Chains A and B, each alone.
Chain A
């Protein structure tokens, strides 16, 4: 990952660099669901709600202030507060997993419809017009903190996004190795046992869900910056199901998995999109089905099994 981060700008052209930048932003989004679903076992069907909220928060704040630093901070804060509120009602209300899935999906679709219907002059926050389904164009992109006139060029943005991806990845690794992280995994395995050992399951679920919301919000701000544009599509069913497909394909219960799943699927989407051979959604649906039926554990955990079998076989043949 570090090699890609340092080497890429030297070998690829600007178009490919932009491509890699958006891939890395989406990898952060994939990690947010990877930890909430893969480690805490909470199937959040509406991770796009926090992603979209982050993107719109960035858009509105950056347009109003003409400066990006505070906009990024708010794009993390607002989705986490919203995730905390939503999570509070779901987890302290002891809703079962299925309802958590249904509610989170509904929430993102409500945002999708809401933002779609904000066309017209009446819908503005400060100087920022929300523009309904047309989306918000010409957003200010990232600038050097405290110096709004000095914008980051594509190479600098790429470095920034890669650094953020690395920080999120390493940070999640550390969190999962901590006492809190171990308990989160234990909650996924058996909630009753956690309670009987004296751990408050509701609190742990709420905290990890909020963290997921924060990371998805960060990814949203990176996405809005990348295209200098945001539209209600960030909340759409396509977006939210894509995140789930990335995690399924890459593998639940790993951090590398969602990153690999995200890169592979996005690369595929780009290639399919440019060649127009077949409908991208159709191909994605087929891949999704194939993985659920044939490789339910995803790429990374399955590779681990294959490696274990190979080494076991080698040990047997040498014995």
Chain B
């Protein structure tokens, strides 16, 4: 097998006196589905912003397929094959669902192929009924799927999902979990999520972050038994 698809080495970012991400070493294998959990302010979303070039690290390196992409522009990183669904959906509110998927697919595909991919993704994420609706008027749950579908239409090599189940009903959460498992058959993913039920549905390896650093990395079962993890989620900052 080939080496890890994504690796970070001592990745850190400092905002004034606060080190939001501290020396994170992450290693993601091909086809892996990694869940990233941790309390608010643990640095999960900031880590995603570093990985996609929306923020520049103050120390450390990011390797994608072994190549150093630290400091590259956001669009250049996206072109290399990292797709992201952000925490607060970044969408084109005035455009239709169809146009979202098409714009994403069209960057690397000729027009007829982009049209075909658009129909395919509409079916896959189940948004055919609202395909020609303006995205700004959709409910929060549907918007999440629009962004997920937009990422999928670009067929990136690695997919980052930041809270893909936030604001969803129970049924929608289950549907999203199913979708994530299905995507994982062909793509490696990193998923940040607060909803532990959702994490339990999809997780294999879980990385727990706390105060900017990786606290522990283990299987879901072990994580659930881990007393330190339980403490930080309950708000006790018991010594380590």
Q: How many residues of B contact A (CB 8 A)?
A: 26
Tell me if B103 and A198 are in contact (CB < 8 A).
no
**A201-B79 Cα distance, complex, nearest whole Å:** 13
Query: Which of A96-104, A186-194, A265-273, A308-316 lines the interface with chain B?
Result: A186-194
Tell me if B84 and A198 are in contact (CB < 8 A).
no
Q: How many A-B pairs with Cβ below 8 Å?
A: 65
**Interface flags, A244-282, vs B, CB<8A=1, else 0:** 000000000000000000000000000000000000000
Tell me if B95 and A185 are in contact (CB < 8 A).
yes
* Cβ-based interface call for B75 (8 A): yes
* Cβ-based interface call for A10 (8 A): no
Q: Chain B residues near A194 (CB, 8 Å)?
A: 75
Q: A204 CB to closest chain B CB, in angstroms?
A: 10
**Interface flags, B80-100, vs A, CB<8A=1, else 0:** 000110100011111100010
Q: Chain B residues near A193 (CB, 8 Å)?
A: 90-92, 150
Q: Chain A residues near B111 (CB, 8 Å)?
A: 179
Q: A42 CB to closest chain B CB, in angstroms?
A: 16
Also in contact, A196 and B94, with CB within 8 A (given A179-B111, A183-B103): no
Q: Chain A residues near B78 (CB, 8 Å)?
A: 195-198
Tell me if A197 and B54 are in contact (CB < 8 A).
no
Tell me if B52 and A199 are in contact (CB < 8 A).
no
Also in contact, A186 and B92, with CB within 8 A (given A196-B78, A196-B86): yes
Closest to A189 in B: B92
Tell me if A196 and B103 are in contact (CB < 8 A).
no
Tell me if B107 and A199 are in contact (CB < 8 A).
yes
Q: Chain B residues near A192 (CB, 8 Å)?
A: 54, 74, 86, 90
* Cβ-based interface call for B104 (8 A): yes
Q: A149 CB to closest chain B CB, in angstroms?
A: 49
Also in contact, A186 and B90, with CB within 8 A (given A192-B54, A196-B78): no
Q: A65 CB to closest chain B CB, in angstroms?
A: 44
* Cβ-based interface call for A182 (8 A): yes
In this complex, which of B54, B74, B83, B106 has the most chain A Cβ atoms within 10 angstroms of its Cβ?
A: B74
Tell me if A189 and B84 are in contact (CB < 8 A).
no
* Cβ-based interface call for A156 (8 A): no
Tell me if A198 and B154 are in contact (CB < 8 A).
yes
**Interface flags, B180-213, vs A, CB<8A=1, else 0:** 0000000000000000000000000000000000
**A285-B86 Cα distance, complex, nearest whole Å:** 43
**Using a CB-CB cutoff of 8 Å, which residues 182-229 of chain A contact chain B?**
182-183, 185-186, 188-190, 192-201
**A193-B102 Cα distance, complex, nearest whole Å:** 14
Closest to A253 in B: B94
Q: A209 CB to closest chain B CB, in angstroms?
A: 18
Residue of B86, B93, B102, B106 touching A189 (CB-CB under 8 A): B93
Q: A91 CB to closest chain B CB, in angstroms?
A: 13
**A186-B100 Cα distance, complex, nearest whole Å:** 9
Q: Chain A residues near B74 (CB, 8 Å)?
A: 192, 195-196
Tell me if B150 and A189 are in contact (CB < 8 A).
no
Q: A19 CB to closest chain B CB, in angstroms?
A: 37
**Using a CB-CB cutoff of 8 Å, which residues 95-120 of chain B contact chain A?**
95, 99, 102-104, 106-107, 111
Q: Chain A residues near B73 (CB, 8 Å)?
A: 195, 200
Q: Chain A residues near B104 (CB, 8 Å)?
A: 197
Q: A58 CB to closest chain B CB, in angstroms?
A: 37
**Using a CB-CB cutoff of 8 Å, which residues 80-98 of chain A contact chain B?**
none
Closest to A194 in B: B75
Closest to B92 in A: A189
Q: B84 CB to closest chain A CB, in angstroms?
A: 6
**A200-B74 Cα distance, complex, nearest whole Å:** 9
**Interface flags, A86-130, vs B, CB<8A=1, else 0:** 000000000000000000000000000000000000000000000
Besides A192-B74, A196-B52, 20 more A-B contacts (Cβ < 8 Å) are: A179-B106, A182-B99, A188-B94, A189-B92, A189-B94, A190-B92, A193-B90, A193-B91, A196-B78, A196-B83, A196-B86, A197-B75, A197-B78, A197-B83, A197-B150, A198-B75, A198-B76, A198-B79, A200-B73, A201-B75
Residues on B lying within 8 angstroms of A by beta carbon are 52, 54, 73-76, 78-79, 83-84, 86, 90-95, 99, 102-104, 106-107, 111, 150, 154
